[in-house]
Amino acid sequence: MVAKNERKLAATIMLQGTASHVGKSALVAGLCRIFMQDGYRVAPFKSWNMALNSYVTADGGEIGRAQGEQAEAAGIEASVHLNPILVKPKGPGQAEVIIRGHHYRNVDYETRSQEAYLNFSLQIIGESLALLRRDFEIIVLEGAGSPAEINLQHQDVANMKAASLASAPVLLVCDLDRGGALAAAVGTMLLLPEEDRKKVAGFIFNKFRGEFAILEPALKIVQEKTGVPVLGVVPYLAQTGLGEEDGVALDCSYTNVEHGADQLRICAIRLPYIANFTDFDALAREKDVSLFYASTPEELVGADAVILPGTKNSIAAMRFLLESGLALGIKELAGCGVPVVGICGGYQLLGQSLADLTGGEGGGAPLLLSGLGLLPTETIFYPQKRVRRTNATACLPFAVTEEVDGYEIHMGQTERAFGCAPAFLLENGTEEGAVSADGTVWGTYLHGLFERPAFRRSWLNTLRARRHWPLLAATAPEDKGSRFDLLADAVRSSLDMSAVYGLLSLPGPRKGGKL
Amino acid sequence: MTLGAVLMVQGTSSDAGKTLLVAALCRYFSDLGYAVAPFKAQNMALNAVAVAGGEEMGWAQVMQAEASRTKPTVEMNPLLLKPVSDTVSQVVLRGRVVGDFSASEYQAFKATAFPVVLEALATLRRRYDVVVLEGAGSPAEVNLRSTDLVNMGLAAAVDAPVLLISDIDRGGMFAYVVGTLALLTDCERARICGLVVNRFRGDLERLQPGLDSLSQLTGVPLVGVIPYLSGLSLPAEDSLGITAGAKKVWDLDVAVIRLPRIANFSDLHILGEEEGVRLRYITGTRELGRPQLIILPGTKNTIADLAWLKETGLYEAIAIAVAGGAFVVGICGGYQMLGMTIRDRHGVDGAGGVASGLGLLPLETDFLPEKTITRVSGETVEHGEALEGYEIHFGQSRRLGGAPFARLTGGDGNYYEDGACSEDGRVMGTYLHGLFDAADFRCGYLNRIRKACMLPTKRPGLSAREKRESSYGMLAVAVRQHLDCDFLRKLLHKEVEKR
């Protein structure tokens, strides 16, 4: 029985794709922004996400980076319920599973396909969804990959099963840029079981460039073949400026970088299971920075600074550094005074040793491994994971008392040797990170530390000083809001919004909202 | 006279791996002792190559011909579209320019072109045992079906069995395959006799159940699953695939000016592969840096791109770099730009007009309505290094002083001097595309730059040809390892007997 005073559950709508990288995440962010502009309380939701770039919520939970950014687009504080299951690959067939922001356990492929595990996942998803639907008016759900992978359909909790739990109509996003979009739309519909096919309420053709008149007859054919209307054709949006979720995007955006003559060359090491590489987006956006990724020692040539990013598997990463010859290359550069920075997993690699006493990190027997030896620190891995957001004050020589915001996600504990100075002082008074005696090598567990313009510029200016280039002033903080508004404008003008509101059973924009 | 067998490769999307699969099949059948040729009815690309007959064709078919161990002829790619702007393309039919067409004009022109395309294919089939056909894009773009001459329209006309290739790396492969089949007509669907899954990384055992049900569902047998291949040394077909990077130890920094209408830059791929060379494509003064060598490549429109050079400030920046000791090579359109003046009295190069060049070489260029298309060979004047390549250009350049770059013999047997060098040898220009393919000249030239920059010289390495040859070998091995070769042989044996 429905109690009289019970609040109405949020309306739901879901975006799924015909393949990876069709642009779902940006479209969900755009829709969230539109509903916010229209006066609704809206939340994004992705039931299951496989990604190595995380976002840390205010209460110290870990979710997919995209859901964090979509929450910002929706103008809400991100919660762990926005992405109740996060899967972080860490070895062949091996992955860490994070349930509602917190480490659950490492599972292998076999476990993931077991029925008990699937039921457990669906229960988690259902509960988080129910909570969100009580607190918000609209939930925009996002699927993962394609719902029509027939070898995986039975275990796919990210797409149609989530749509069922949320009673959400599904919009299928197709990528026109790649060609074969019509086939992808029709084929996906054909491969869906009858009950799932009924959920698909419309197509969105994304990344369009060309003459609409030539495309139009094709849209009609798709509509006839499937009985599903096309609700929008979204133009190719070159730069949404949203952080990327996985390494596929990394392959596309930072290889074959051309360095400007007046640009600092910052080299991030392409570690296996590289994680949270969105840390460097802020650096890459600086005009005097050319960021590139290196996976061989040859590529280090000419770097003004080297950054060791986070990794899901520090042991595998250390082995990779040794085998590839990068370990030697990085040490040589550091010996010449080139600044080297380690973040999270990268910080661990900079130390003297890494000890995995329980075999949890490497996924095998206990072991002790030498680090790069550039910082007098030692790391021990524990099964407990630390996830928190924190403010910190830098005690680094080039940025004393500079404030940063950051977040930590890690399993190891790192101890400094006596006499080694910390890099940061956290808001709770603890010392964090480590810096070498000459100040050029430093490491920290704080992700996102380059977001603050003043700190970022202070460090970049040390690199400029090494080149005898004039120092620059910090840039203004970036206005994410206006970026989301631009995205919303583009999506609004290409989608049939009245049909979307129809699917939500909502009357449309509220009074006082935009339009 | 019997006609050669035909086999066609079509893809479920762009970039599914058609071009390489065709090259791989060509080499595989060639290894079996057949005379093989590649064929693609229509190519949209700026990387044209002149072939023996003096006509131009797409780079990919030249590469595939090499994989087939045969000489490229224009029949292998009878239609070539070279984008002039976003909406207009220059149409080249059987190697000869027909004119500039808009998208809708071209659709109408296709009816005229189709018989020529079929005749070209018939010519190949009279000469070869096997012709491997390549489709374009996806055959399921149903809005373009009525005028199709590159996918199913062609397959139907020559009754070719079709292998469908699909890229699994980006997900949604099952849907792309099922959807493609669903959008085809019954006759078209019946042509598809096998599926090739491309770029697979992961555990095949886990994929197998999905592949089995896909075969059941569609009735199309699986011919094989090709893993993600890396380490191939073959240039990409069109501008999207431009790759140049900082991925190695280098002592020579080579900056290629990425002209807006850049053409025939596959020439330069080989330089980027050379040991110690970093090849970068740049579009502004900011990225110029201090390269030891600047290359001005060919262009579809010399005068417009020269104006662009002036707008971007590269015009001055190049002159300053030369004054600072940098070497400059201009090829074709880039060669014209290095001269004093460029005159287009007939509007051949665009809107017409007169432009002043960079003035780094004593040279004048006039655009004439006749296009020069020829295969040439010869040697450099100063060092006698052997050269081989081709010319494709409208303009005629006259040297007013200095020394020529090369002595060449054209397809018609005529002997002439080509190109120009500045007195100090640092600035040089030529109409010869493919000049860096010749190992002697390439290594000699790079070492001359090294000497001038007080860098140690290097010994010559593997030639581009040798590297490509090993890539073709790798492709053939991939076919033998991952595709059902019995099936492929049966597909041909229905019609084909070894000659």
Q: What is the pLDDT of residues A421-431, one digit of tens each?
A: 999 999 998 99
Question: Within this chain, do residues A277 and A190 fall inside the same structural domain, yes or no?
Answer: no
Residue A401 lies in a domain: yes
Question: Within this chain, do residues B193 and B78 fall inside the same structural domain, yes or no?
Answer: yes
| Nearest CB neighbour to A19, from listed B16, B172, B287 | B172
Is the CB of B287 less than 8 angstroms away from the CB of A17? Answer: no
Mutate which of A24, A177, A182, A214 to test chain B, going by most B C-beta atoms within 10 A? A182
Question: Within this chain, do residues A396 and A369 fall inside the same structural domain, yes or no?
Answer: yes
User: In chain A, which residues have their Cβ closer than 8 Å to the Cβ of B206?
Assistant: 109, 151
pLDDT of residue A147: 96
Residue B17 lies in a domain: yes
How far is Cα of residue A406 from the mean position of the Cα atoms in its chain? 15
Residue A56 lies in a domain: no
Report the chain B residue with the minimal C-alpha distance to residue A224.
B183
| Nearest CB neighbour to A148, from listed B175, B209, B286 | B175
Question: Within this chain, do residues A433 and A495 fall inside the same structural domain, yes or no?
Answer: no
Question: Within this chain, do residues A456 and A413 fall inside the same structural domain, yes or no?
Answer: yes
Contact (CB, 8 A) for A411 and A102? no
Residue A97 lies in a domain: no
Q: What total number of domains does chain B contain? A: 2
Question: Within this chain, do residues A206 and A306 fall inside the same structural domain, yes or no?
Answer: no
State the pTM of this model. 0.73
What sign has the CA pseudo-torsion B232, B235, B238, B243?
positive
Question: Within this chain, do residues A185 and A269 fall inside the same structural domain, yes or no?
Answer: no
pLDDT of residue A294: 86
Question: Within this chain, do residues A436 and A322 fall inside the same structural domain, yes or no?
Answer: yes
User: In chain A, which residues have their Cβ closer than 8 Å to the Cβ of B172?
Assistant: 17-20, 145-146, 148-149, 184, 188
Residue A91 lies in a domain: no
pLDDT of residue B62: 86
pLDDT band at B222 (very low <50, low <70, confident <90, very high): very high
Question: Within this chain, do residues A209 and A273 fall inside the same structural domain, yes or no?
Answer: no
Q: 3-state SS string over A203-248?
A: EEEEEECCCHHHHHHHHHHHHHHHCCCEEEEEECCCCCCCCCCCHH
Tokens standing for residue B381: 């004047």
Residue A321 lies in a domain: yes
Residue B234 lies in a domain: no
Question: Within this chain, do residues B218 and B243 fall inside the same structural domain, yes or no?
Answer: no
pLDDT of residue A361: 61
Angstrom distance (rounded) from CA A268 to CA A300: 9
For residue A36, is pLDDT > 70?
yes
Residue B233 lies in a domain: no
Question: Within this chain, do residues A373 and A327 fall inside the same structural domain, yes or no?
Answer: yes
Is A102 designated active site?
no
Which amino acid is residue A152, in one-letter code? Answer: L
Question: Within this chain, do residues B9 and B123 fall inside the same structural domain, yes or no?
Answer: yes
A250 or B420: which leads in pLDDT? B420
Region B116-140: mean pLDDT is: 95
Is B332 designated active site?
yes
Nearest to A12 by CA among A113, A162, A147: A162
For residue A305, is pLDDT > 60?
yes
Which of A5-9, B240-244, B474-478 ranks highest by mean pLDDT? B474-478
Is the CB of B286 less than 8 angstroms away from the CB of A211? Answer: no
Angstrom distance (rounded) from CA A501 to CA A507: 6
DSSP symbol at B3: P
Tokens standing for residue A396: 């680094």
Q: What percent of chain B has pLDDT over 70?
A: 92
Run of H or E residues at B394: strand B386-399
Question: Within this chain, do residues B426 and B484 fall inside the same structural domain, yes or no?
Answer: no
Is the CB of A183 less than 8 angstroms away from the CB of B138? Answer: yes
Contact (CB, 8 A) for B179 and A184? yes
pLDDT band at A19 (very low <50, low <70, confident <90, very high): very high
Is the CB of B211 less than 8 angstroms away from the CB of A183? Answer: no
Instruction: Return the CATH number at A365.
Output: 3.40.50.880
Question: Within this chain, do residues A219 and A267 fall inside the same structural domain, yes or no?
Answer: no
Report the range of poorest mean pLDDT among B82-96, B321-335, B362-376. B82-96
Tokens standing for residue B194: 């096998």
Residue B27 lies in a domain: yes
For residue B241, is pLDDT > 80?
no
Residue B499 lies in a domain: no
Contact (CB, 8 A) for A275 and A52? yes
Residue A59 lies in a domain: no
B324 or B135: which leads in pLDDT? B135
pLDDT of residue B35: 96
User: In chain B, which residues have their Cβ closer than 8 Å to the Cβ of A215?
Assistant: 143
**Domain that includes residue B318, residue range:** 239-460
Question: Within this chain, do residues B305 and B186 fall inside the same structural domain, yes or no?
Answer: no
Region B340-347: mean pLDDT is: 88
Question: Within this chain, do residues B159 and B11 fall inside the same structural domain, yes or no?
Answer: yes
Nearest to A66 by CA among A313, A241, A292, A280: A241
Which amino acid is residue A66, in one-letter code? Answer: A
To the nearest 10 degrees (0 to 180), the angle between helices A314-324 and A326-335 is 80
User: In chain B, which residues have their Cβ closer than 8 Å to the Cβ of A207?
Assistant: none
For residue B430, is pLDDT > 50?
yes
Q: What total number of domains does chain A contain? A: 2
Mutate which of B142, B200, B242 to test chain A, going by most A C-beta atoms within 10 A? B142
Instruction: Return the CATH number at B306.
Output: 3.40.50.880
Angstrom distance (rounded) from CA B293 to CA B284: 16
Question: Within this chain, do residues B224 and B263 fall inside the same structural domain, yes or no?
Answer: no
Region B443-447: mean pLDDT is: 91
Region A145-160: mean pLDDT is: 91
Catalytic residue among B393, B433, B443, B482: B433
User: In chain B, which residues have their Cβ closer than 8 Å to the Cβ of A261?
Assistant: 286-290
Question: Within this chain, do residues B191 and B264 fall inside the same structural domain, yes or no?
Answer: no
**Domain that includes residue A416, residue range:** 263-466
Question: Within this chain, do residues B474 and B439 fall inside the same structural domain, yes or no?
Answer: no
Question: Within this chain, do residues A167 and A220 fall inside the same structural domain, yes or no?
Answer: yes
Question: Within this chain, do residues A322 and A206 fall inside the same structural domain, yes or no?
Answer: no
Residue A134 lies in a domain: yes
Instruction: Return the CATH number at B136.
Output: 3.40.50.300
Tokens standing for residue A278: 């969105």
Instruction: Return the CATH number at A198.
Output: 3.40.50.300
Residue B244 lies in a domain: yes
pLDDT of residue B499: 31
Angstrom distance (rounded) from CA A462 to CA A440: 9
Residue A512 lies in a domain: no
Residue B498 lies in a domain: no
Question: Within this chain, do residues B300 and B367 fall inside the same structural domain, yes or no?
Answer: yes
pLDDT of residue A16: 97
Question: Within this chain, do residues B243 and B223 fall inside the same structural domain, yes or no?
Answer: no
Region B298-327: mean pLDDT is: 91
